[in-house]
Amino acid sequence: MAVVAPGAARAARRRRSGPPIRSTPFQFTLTTVSLIAAGFALYPLARVFFAFFIVDGQIDLSAFAAVFQVRDVGQIIVDTVSIVFVSGAIALVVGAVLAWLEERTDASLGPIGRALPILPFLVPPIATGIGWLLLFQPTVGIGNTFIRNFLDALGIHLESGPFNVASWWGLVLVLAFVHVPYSYMIVSSGLRNMDGAMEEQSRVSGAGVFRTLVWVTLPGIRNSLGSAALLLVFFGFADYAIPVVIGTAADIEVISMRVVQLMTASYPPEIGAAIALSMVGVAFVVSFWLLQRWLLQSRRFFAIGGRAQSAAIIRLGVWRWPARALSITFILITSFLPLVGLLIVALHGYWSGSIDPANFSLQSFEAVLVNDPFSVKSIQNSLFLAVTGATIGVIVAALAVQFAAQRSDRFRAAVDGIIKAPATVSIIIVTIGIILAFSGPPFALGGTLAILLIGYLVVYMPQATVTIESSVAQVSGELSEASTVSGASPWNTWTKVVVPLILPGLVTGWTLLFVRMVSDLTASAMLAGPGTSVIGFRILSVYNNGSYGTLAALCLFVTLVTTIVVIAMQVVTGAMNRRWRGGGTTKVARTARATPHSDHVEKELTAR
């Protein structure tokens, strides 16, 4: 949905000083809900802050010393930093190359390329990680056995391998694969927003494809590359799902793994050490952010114009099909191969190197869905929490966005900023805050589903808020004003004009929250307990001491649920948009102008 009227920008600017806000029941609800949401976001963060930085009422960094009590801290930091930066560099290069091929050359991938950005929502990272392990563990990895059998036929005999995912390089590559969609998304939107005329001018001036790429295209998207790099570093330090699977198998420990361990392996949890260690990650992210800002600000090459023209397509000639084949292979391998591994193990019911279709059965799925009470309970809990959480989250986010959009004063800006603040801190730290804030007295919610619900909402709601915000921004202010002038109360204007128009954004936001909550691992690892098990928590405990058949079946089940929900969402929002756009899209463009989605979260979810 994107209806923007020509006067929208002007109206939006004017709304700052718009009519006074009257005290109606609707207004009271908006204010109250927004303040409560801000309270839930701020309190846990404040608890972490006070627990760590404030000693006897003074700002004090001595708590940082706790980091030295962490066993093998040096090794952990070295491993984490090297893995984050090497995997990030790989993901950045691969994502940028794929984006350039898709946006600028005739080797574009069609529907597969368009699906790439939504893949992380279809397949949870934990499923990908376990899938890779099942395939390329050196001795019993299914893929490895398959390749060894093939090599045997050629007369080459290997005892193990040839690949070993349970290694430093394995961890780095799998992390990179999982993160490629994010860098792809950011770089391709950078390419789309860059005026193609600049590249055409370079070609006209005599530069070839390669020199144009180096001297014009890359400098032109340096901001996108910078944001992609920052996001990759942020995700790298925050990621828990891939390290906990592959790192554990490879006997490599990273910060996120140890922090979760400090919080869960002993009672009482070693909160001080956990916060101190996570702050090391924060320090790296912040330093990288400062470095990136300094690099990007010091030399400004391009002022990118308003409405970008699309660039001429570069013909790759003989390289077209190799390039296309390579990228399609890459996407298929990184997204579907792990699922094949999961499927084979789930059908076998156990993990051995061999593939024997004669032994295939659905017993593992039966166990997960019917026979294993722990898994069944976890699935029930997760579905309940995800549906409840996504519904509450979308309603609260919609009200909070409306509240913040009413006018721009400092109070509203502050409330809005606080609600979004948890998104800027890693999930691990926010979750520690949730434990500090709500598990003990006076709330005493430790070991309840309520603390999981609160945790999920605080951690993931900012994403829904941003999605809904971009929907609201696309609704021209005059559409609401026309309703008010027609005699509609604020409540009627909201329910009859604003909400219907942002409905696709609300559906997208709900899906985003549902997917994140149902496949959450990090927050669940710390907030759930044996009595309040959820899918992520169950996957971790099965991984540590259970059957691989059950594990694979659980992973596939989550993947199936998220895939169905995401595809259903695409169908629903697509139908909504078609209905309003009608047949006359060109007329829409001229009058009630349709603009491309500006928000990246929406881009993640909607195919172009």
Partner 1 sequence: MSSASIQETMPVTDHGTVGSALSIRGLRRTFVRRDGQHVTAINGVDLEVAAGEVVVLLGPSGCGKTTLLRAVAGLEVPDSGQIALGERTVFDADGRKVLNVPTEKRHLSMMFQSYALWPHMTVFDNVSYPLRMRHAPRAGIRERVEAALQRADIAQLGREYPQQLSGGQQQRVALARAIVDESPIILFDEPLSNVDAKVRTELRLQLIALQQRLGYAGLYVTHDQVEAMEVGHRIAVMEAGRIAQIGAAAEIYDRPATRYVANFIGAVNELTGTLASVGPDATVDTPLGRFAVARDSLWEGLSVGDEVVVIFRPESARIVDAATTGENLVHGTVVRALYAGTHAEVFVRVADRELRVWAGTESSPQAGEQVAVSVPHERVRLVPPEGSA
Residue at token pair 């491993």:
79
DSSP secondary structure of 133-172: HHHH-TTT-HHHHHHHHHHHHTT---SS-S--SSSHHHHH
> 216: closest CA among 302, 299, 292, 296?
302
DSSP secondary structure of 20-39: PPP--HHHHHHHHHHHHHHH
Structure tokens given for 402: 């409306």
**Among positions 191, 501, 521, 523, the unique one binding partner 1 when judged by CB under 8 A:** 501
Name the residue nearer to partner 1 (CB basis): 479 or 539: 479
The distance of closest approach from Cβ of residue 14 to partner 1 in the complex, given in angstroms and rounded to an integer, is: 7
Range 13-32, binding partner 1 (CB under 8 A): 14, 17-20, 22
The distance of closest approach from Cβ of residue 593 to partner 1 in the complex, given in angstroms and rounded to an integer, is: 9
CB 133 within 8 A of CB 165: yes
**Among positions 363, 484, 541, 547, the unique one binding partner 1 when judged by CB under 8 A:** 484
**Among positions 32, 359, 585, 595, the unique one binding partner 1 when judged by CB under 8 A:** 585
**Among positions 79, 372, 481, 599, the unique one binding partner 1 when judged by CB under 8 A:** 481
Name the residue nearer to partner 1 (CB basis): 20 or 57: 20
The distance of closest approach from Cβ of residue 468 to partner 1 in the complex, given in angstroms and rounded to an integer, is: 17
Bridge partners for 58 per DSSP: 55
**Among positions 71, 157, 299, 579, the unique one binding partner 1 when judged by CB under 8 A:** 579
**Among positions 219, 272, 417, 500, the unique one binding partner 1 when judged by CB under 8 A:** 500
Structure tokens given for 60: 């004090």
DSSP tag of 353: S
**Among positions 293, 300, 315, 587, the unique one binding partner 1 when judged by CB under 8 A:** 587
Q: Measured between alpha carbons, how far is residue 204 from residues 106, 212, 302, 493 in Å?
A: 19, 10, 19, 53
Task: Considering only the stretches 63-71, 312-320, 409-417, 471-479, report the one whose residues sit in contact with partner 1 under the rule CB under 8 A.
Answer: 471-479
Strands 54-55 and 58-59: what pairing? Answer: antiparallel
Task: Considering only the stretches 10-18, 250-258, 295-303, 391-399, report the one whose residues sit in contact with partner 1 under the rule CB under 8 A.
Answer: 10-18
The distance of closest approach from Cβ of residue 478 to partner 1 in the complex, given in angstroms and rounded to an integer, is: 4
DSSP secondary structure of 335-349: HHHHHHHHHHHHHHS
DSSP tag of 75: H
CB 191 within 8 A of CB 100: yes
Find how far residue 539's CA is from the centre of its chain: 20
How far is the C-alpha of 305 from the C-alpha of 490, rounded, in Å?
37
**Among positions 204, 373, 485, 545, the unique one binding partner 1 when judged by CB under 8 A:** 485
The distance of closest approach from Cβ of residue 567 to partner 1 in the complex, given in angstroms and rounded to an integer, is: 24
Structure tokens given for 143: 């893929």
CB 482 within 8 A of CB 11: no
Structure tokens given for 346: 């789930």
CB 388 within 8 A of CB 453: yes
The distance of closest approach from Cβ of residue 318 to partner 1 in the complex, given in angstroms and rounded to an integer, is: 45
The distance of closest approach from Cβ of residue 575 to partner 1 in the complex, given in angstroms and rounded to an integer, is: 13
Task: Considering only the stretches 4-12, 151-159, 244-252, 560-568, report the one whose residues sit in contact with partner 1 under the rule CB under 8 A.
Answer: 4-12
**Residue 35 touching partner 1 (CB under 8 A):** no
**Among positions 478, 520, 599, 604, the unique one binding partner 1 when judged by CB under 8 A:** 478
> 457: closest CA among 395, 533, 528, 532?
395
How far is the C-alpha of 39 from the C-alpha of 479, rounded, in Å?
32
Structure tokens given for 112: 């597969």
**Residue 578 touching partner 1 (CB under 8 A):** no
Task: Considering only the stretches 172-180, 278-286, 449-457, 494-502, report the one whose residues sit in contact with partner 1 under the rule CB under 8 A.
Answer: 494-502
**Among positions 137, 476, 532, 559, the unique one binding partner 1 when judged by CB under 8 A:** 476
Task: Considering only the stretches 69-77, 209-217, 253-261, 587-595, report the one whose residues sit in contact with partner 1 under the rule CB under 8 A.
Answer: 587-595
**Residue 583 touching partner 1 (CB under 8 A):** yes
User: Measured over all CA atoms, what is the biggest interatomic distance in the chain, rounded to whole angstroms?
Assistant: 84
**Residue 219 touching partner 1 (CB under 8 A):** no
CB 451 within 8 A of CB 445: yes
**Residue 572 touching partner 1 (CB under 8 A):** no
Task: Considering only the stretches 100-108, 222-230, 473-481, 535-543, report the one whose residues sit in contact with partner 1 under the rule CB under 8 A.
Answer: 473-481
Structure tokens given for 176: 């990179």
**Residue 488 touching partner 1 (CB under 8 A):** yes
**Residue 591 touching partner 1 (CB under 8 A):** yes
**Residue 374 touching partner 1 (CB under 8 A):** no
Burial 151-184 (b: 16+ CB within 10 A, else e): eeeeeeeeeeeebbbbbbebbbbbbbbbbbbbbb
Helix (H, G, I), strand (E, B) or coil at 583: coil
Count of residues touching partner 1 (by CB under 8 A): 40
Q: Would you mind telling me the total number of residues written for the chain in this entry?
A: 608
The distance of closest approach from Cβ of residue 20 to partner 1 in the complex, given in angstroms and rounded to an integer, is: 6
**Among positions 112, 449, 482, 572, the unique one binding partner 1 when judged by CB under 8 A:** 482
Binding site for partner 1 (CB under 8 A): 3, 5-8, 14, 17-20, 22, 476, 478-479, 481-489, 492, 496-497, 500-501, 579-585, 587-588, 590-592
